[in-house]
Structure 1
Amino acid sequence: MNKYTLRSLIFLFSVLSLNCIQSGAYAQRKITGFELEADPLAYILKGYSLHAGITYGSFRTSMGTFAIQQPDMFSGNEAFSVYHSGFDLKTDYLFGRIAGWHSGLQISYAKEKVELKSDPDQQLIWGLNIGARVGYRWMFGNVATNYKGFYLNPWAALIYSPNAADIVAGTEKYKQKSFSIFPAVHVGWRF
């Protein structure tokens, strides 16, 4: 991806995020909750996941870090081992409620460490990814306490990687996908 494309994508996401922040829903400038969450599947897949978020008006914004050892069946070529890691920023519209449906945008800067299983030589693919997401938040706290406590947040995103690359190692070829669907189930705590 050239520097102009990268700048354009960052600018687009920034404008959309700032639009959410300055919308009528945020006019009160009141943060209504702080949340920490993680994806347990990331730990099962030899990785990690930790995200911190705030809710304000009808919106939620979070920042986080993540990593997974990509299962072979998703890599497109089982001859390769792929470890995906990075950090992200997400902004969601909550449709006027803390609990229930949400949809939004995300941007991540990530690295794929790709290696041919028969050869320990690694190659790195760095890139900016953008996506649209939708999910549902099950809040186990009660309304009177603003849903403080445990929650589940299953969601899925359609991710676009504008700088998808190919790696050739020996006679094998790894082709990074331009579009992918990423499902997750985050568990969290609302303070």
Structure 2
Amino acid sequence: MKILRSLITVLPFLLASQASAESSRIQWDVEVDPIAYAMQGFSVHLGLSPAYGRWDLGVYGMKLPSDVVDNDNFEASFRGAGVKWDLKRADERGWFLGIEGGWSEQKFVHIPSSEELKLNEYSYGVRGGYRFIISSVTITPWLGLGYSPNTDNIVIAGDELKRSRYTVFPTVHIGYLF
């Protein structure tokens, strides 16, 4: 519920910042990340594209696969919300480059002891990709490079989980243009 309230609070400011001097029509879209759903998660994004920019407000979460968790004694998952802004072509298709920022609640479970730790983390980064459009359906592979300044290794029951402040996030979004 906190995530939804935050998105509702931020949306009017994002809309107002893009409304000035934009003469072309505004394009709306909705996207999902099927990879998140395959990883026991979710991902829904609302896009707003006046002229050559695109705002994206999203909520997401997933369980991390064991091969990306540094220590087999841990399970890791997260859920959060974020905002992205991309520089793109006016017709919505082709290459884009953008910036992103977000908040997430990270959850770590130490399997042998069943102890659990939840942390709030913030991140920001850059992203780029290519958007294909077939009729009104979008297919958008993209790569994000992120930094989380408050990420540190964690220790539960004497086991350490090493975590990097830097992330590489490749994915594909599938969406619909309205």
Range with bigger deviation, 41-50 or 169-178: 169-178
**Please, what TM-score do these two structures have when normalized by structure 2?**
0.86
Structure 1 residues without counterparts, runs of 5 or longer: 1-16, 142-148
Match of 2:158 among 168, 171, 175: 171
Alignment gaps of 5+ in structure 2: 1-13
Identity of aligned residues (%): 27
The answer to whether the 8 Å contact 1:31/1:54 transfers is: no
Letter in 2 for 1:131: G
Taking the aligned partners of 1:133 and 1:21, their CA distance within structure 2 comes to 20
How many angstroms apart in 2 are the aligned matches of 1:31 and 1:160? 34
Residue 63 of structure 1 is matched in structure 2 by 57
Please report the TM-score for the alignment, with normalisation by the length of structure 1.
Answer: 0.80
1:181 maps onto 2:168 in alignment = yes
Q: Distance in 2 between matches of 1:69 and 1:29?
A: 42
Q: Does 1:86 align with 2:80?
A: yes
Asked if residue 46 in structure 1 is aligned to residue 40 in structure 2, the reply is yes
Do residues 160 (structure 1) and 147 (structure 2) align? yes
Aligned residue in 1 for 2:117: 123
Distance 2:130 2:148 in 1: 25
RMSD of Structure 2 on Structure 1 (CA)? 1.9
Between 1:29-38 and 1:51-60, the stretch displaced more is: 29-38
> What is the total number of aligned residue pairs between the two structures?
164
Q: 2:144 touches 2:170 (CA, 8 Å); kept in 1?
A: yes
- C-alpha contact (below 8 Å) 2:54/2:87 kept by paired residues: yes
Letter in 2 for 1:56: P
